Amino acid sequence: MTEDRRSRVDGARTRAVILRESVAMATIDGLEGLSIGNLAKAAGMSKSGVYAHFGSKQDLQLATVEEAGRIFREEVVAPALVAPAGVGQLVALCDAFCEHLRRRAFPGGCFFAGAALEMGTRPGPVKDRVAAFQGALMELIRQFADTAIAQHELAADEKPELVAFEVNGIILAADTTYVLHDDPGVLEVARHVIRRRLGVS
């Protein structure tokens, strides 16, 4: 490996370490609560070291949303995409979300649930990215529901967008209740609720 290549690889690794820390911190203090100083302390780096990767707080916030999206896709969406099409995908998404909560991927629960409420009152590019992520997730759930209806797993008069709204509600209730009460029983309730709603035993 050339000196130059090694330095780029090290740089990418450092950036990844900072961002993982940043997503975790944002689930405690919010995206507005992120500061290059606090992040440097948490990652055991100098402030100038963090500055070298993110020129401004907004750049850091945008990169944090992107990294949170990458982790969500890897941990929650990917298991659903390889599940049996239709109801199987809806159940797999909900189960993977509960598993993401159960092993405390982040201390404050689902990054996007918190970010949506926090950014709602803060128009700008960071809010736009959070809204785009949430919109894409809802569209994916809607497609799963559409397939489930087409395959007669759900009644013909079900509306995919209403099913998506309910599934989103179930995962939000799991997140909020689990984060607040720290009770794994909540995740079992969520697993029951989604199965009962979708007619799966």
Interacting residue ranges for a second copy, rule: CB under 8 A: 27-30, 32, 107-109, 113-114, 116-121, 127, 130-131, 134-135, 161-162, 165-166, 168-173, 175-177, 179-182, 189-190, 192-193, 196-197
**Residue 104: left if φ>0, alpha if ψ -120 to 50, beta else—which one?**
left
Q: Which residues contact 138 (CB under 8 A, 6 or more apart)?
A: 164, 165, 168
Least distance (Å) between residue 149 CB and a second copy: 14
Nearer to a second copy, 46 or 58 (CB): 58
- Comparing CB distances to a second copy, the nearer of 11 and 120 is 120
| Residue 164: burial class (beta carbons within 10 Å; 0-12, 13-18, 19+) | buried
Residue length of the chain: 201
* CB of 23 or CB of 45, closer to a second copy: 23
Distance CA 187, CA 43 (A): 31
Instruction: Tell me how far, at minimum, the Cβ of 137 lies from a second copy, in Å.
Output: 11
Sort residue 165 into left (φ over 0), alpha (ψ -120 to 50) or beta. Answer: alpha
Q: How far is the CB of 51 from a second copy (least distance, A)?
A: 25
- Residue with smaller CB distance to a second copy, 81 or 162: 162
Q: How far is the CB of 179 from a second copy (least distance, A)?
A: 3
